[in-house]
Structure 1
Amino acid sequence: MDDSLTGLCAGRGNRMTDETLPKPSLSARPSWIMPPKSNVTLQCHTSTNDVNFALRKGNVPVEFPQSPDSTEGMARFLLTDLQASSSGPYTCEYYRREPPQRSSQPSDILLLLVTGEFPKPSLQAPQRGVVTAGETVTLQCQRPDNIFMPIKFALLKAGAAEPIRVQDPAGKETDFSLRSVTVSDAGNYSCVYFLMRAPFWASDSQPSDILLLLVTGEEGVPRRGDYTTGNLIRLGLAAIIVVIMGAFLVEAWCSQKEPPRGSV
């Protein structure tokens, strides 16, 4: 997640760990930023077989039921009815089932955020939300004036499991720059802000007002700067084919106009 999280799981005790076991990965579905009373699945994955998994919040082991669709090498922990107290840094690890029963190193930290403890921010686009493909668009997220604790901002896009960007503010706002946008960047954007330390509060369960970003320009239509050698060759071949087809059509039309041989 962020370098500032690396110290959150210090002092984990003196458990025997096996340096040869690959570190597992931990992800959240549908996202690591969730509204209260919702459900989230934390997925711990490793390429090592015949292992048992464990989930921790900070330094404390947590007991969540594994989903029935967990598979060999993949444990899915279902967290239901999320509350503000569910927010925090999570890691997972795994243990060999057979002796020697040593554990892996912990996964990288996943910061789970449950929104709703701060007022929602605002999100604005100086270009009024309409840009041309290839341009840079800046989306500005701004928190209310009455927040004085150190926070970070996250830019969200509808349908994306992970935030598009996470960054520090400049004062009470931050600018998210999307460079060389394409039509795939079009969509509904919002933002949230959150504390990077306990109690890991985040802004309102309704993020900022939705901002619809429109990107003009058709996919597949070459724009200035797109005329590479490959494109020129394809355009040349297409032109030759059109000329040949035109010659055949002219020949056929002329043959129909000629009088039959032997006629007066």
Structure 2
Amino acid sequence: GSLPKPSLTVWPSSVLSAQSNVTLRCWTPEMGVDFILRQGETNLSVLQSRESTEGLAEFHLNDLKGSQAGEYTCEYYRKGSPDISSQRSDVLLLLVTGYLPKPSLKIHQNHKVSARGNLTFQCQKLDPLVQPVMFALLKAGTSNPLQLRGPEENGVEFSLQNLTVGDTGSYSCVYYQSSPPFLASQPSNHLEIWVTVLAHLSSSDYTTGNLIRLGLAALIMVTMGAFLVEAWHSQKESPNTS
């Protein structure tokens, strides 16, 4: 039988420009195993496990080239008679940008939107290629595309629902070939989006607020009354100077 599949993750991002550096991390809870990284069906690297790795292998791809774009998987195996291999990880698509003209990215709303609202991006391909391509919505600081759409010839729309403050950030999009050689465009210009929180008071909030205001008003009236009574007593006890 085979061992459970590992997870394959990427840092800093699965969409990078040429000449960037990237690290692919293959992880499993199993101990004392060796790892294999594949691009498609080609074995790229075999990493011997060490006690310090504890089921984690890091494969470093430096000075990225367009030929390194593609679908990556990893697996691990335990040496024995015979060796026992794991299932392959889920596919991780690595894109190297800059080989096709950049698309445009637009929104129809204001760049400042309210929390719990929706936001629609339109990513449009501007070059004359008629071959259907895939589109990816990117956010700065995230390691993988937020959404994928396609294949389409000219453009797609991406929709973000029920926005939160965490959706604030810088967005861009790319398009790419969905089969080898996986050529990808330059990223679009970035759009800065701000998600703001508006105070929405319910009826219970209004009731609570009214009670607080009434309580403060009563406290002020009592305090003023106490001052008036004290002033009256002071005037009554003072000697008549007339």
Shared fold by TM > 0.5?
yes
- Residue aligned with 1:55, SS: strand
Match of 1:211 among 169, 191, 197: 191
Equivalent residue letter for 1:121: P
- Change over 3 Å in CA distance of 1:112–1:241 after alignment to 2: same
After TM superposition, the structure 1 = structure 2 runs for residues 49-198 of structure 1, keeping only pairs within 5 Å, are 49-63=31-45, 71-97=53-79, 101-198=83-180
**Number of the residue aligned with 2:19:** 37
Q: Determine the C-alpha separation between the residues in 1 that align with 2:84 and 2:183.
A: 35
Deviation at 1:194, TM superposition (A): 0.5
Q: Per-residue deviation at 1:253?
A: 3.0
Deviation of 1:99 (Å): 5.7
Equivalent pair of 1:64/1:78 in contact (CA under 8 Å) = no
Q: CA deviation at 1:240?
A: 3.9
SS at the partner of 1:161? coil
Mark the runs of 5 or more structure 2 residues left unpaired by the alignment. Answer: none
Q: Residues 141-200 of structure 1, C-alpha deviation per residue, up to 9 Å, x if partnerless?
A: 111232233310001111222211101054311111222333332322110001111111
Task: Give the count of matched residue pairs.
Answer: 234
CA contact 1:64–1:77 (8 Å) conserved in 2: no
Percent of aligned positions with the same letter in both sequences?
42
Contact 1:165 1:176 in 2 (8 A): yes
Q: What is the CA deviation profile of residues 84-123 of structure 1, one whole-angstrom value per residue up to 9, with x for unaligned ones?
A: 1111111111112566530101101111111111111111
Q: Distance in 2 between matches of 1:109 and 1:162?
A: 12
CA contact (8 A) 1:141 1:175 kept: yes
**Aligned residue for 2:200?**
222
Indicate if the aligned counterparts of 1:126 and 1:138 stay in contact, CA closer than 8 A: yes
Q: Compared with structure 1, are the counterparts of its residues 54 and 118 closer, same or farther at alpha carbon in structure 2 (3 Å cutoff)?
A: same
SS of equivalent residue, structure 1 residue 184? helix
Is the contact made by 2:132 and 2:153 (CA closer than 8 Å) also made in structure 1?
A: no
1:258 counterpart residue number: 229
Unaligned runs of 5+ in 1: 1-17
Give the SS at the match of 1:168: strand
CA separation of 1:246 and 1:96: change in aligned 2, threshold 3 A: farther
| RMSD of aligned Cα (Å) | 2.8
Q: Tell me the CA shift for residue 36 of structure 1.
A: 0.7
Q: Call closer, same or farther: CA 1:97–1:235 in 2, change over 3 Å.
A: farther
d(CA) in 2 for partners of 1:98 and 1:245? 79
CA contact (8 A) 1:140 1:176 kept: yes
Q: 1:60 deviation in Å?
A: 1.5
In 1, Cα distance between equivalents of 2:151 and 2:73 = 27
Could you say what secondary structure the match of 1:63 adopts?
strand
Q: Residues of 2 paired with 1:59 and 1:189: CA distance?
A: 33
Distance 2:36 2:132 in 1: 31
